[in-house]
Amino acid sequence: MYVAFSGFPHCFKHVFALLLTTFRVAANGFWHCCEHVFMYVVTRS
């Protein structure tokens, strides 16, 4: 019982890190897309 209980926070930490990494990659991709749109608008005007 104790082993499972102590292993749970460790598992949760890994899941949290994975979610954080996924969010960071998604955010980077979003800003990268915004930059392309911004540059497109600037060069068109």
Determine the residue type at 12.
F
Determine the residue type at 21.
T
Domain parsing of the chain, residue ranges: 1-45
Separation between Cα atoms, residue 35 and residue 8, nearest integer Å: 40
What local confidence, expressed as pLDDT, does residue 8 receive? Answer: 80
Q: Which of 12, 16, 14 is nearest to 4 (CA)?
A: 12
- pLDDT (tens digit, 9 = 90+) per residue, 1-36? 566 677 788 888 999 999 999 999 999 999 999 999
Separation between Cα atoms, residue 30 and residue 37, nearest integer Å: 11
What local confidence, expressed as pLDDT, does residue 1 receive? Answer: 56
What local confidence, expressed as pLDDT, does residue 26 receive? Answer: 95
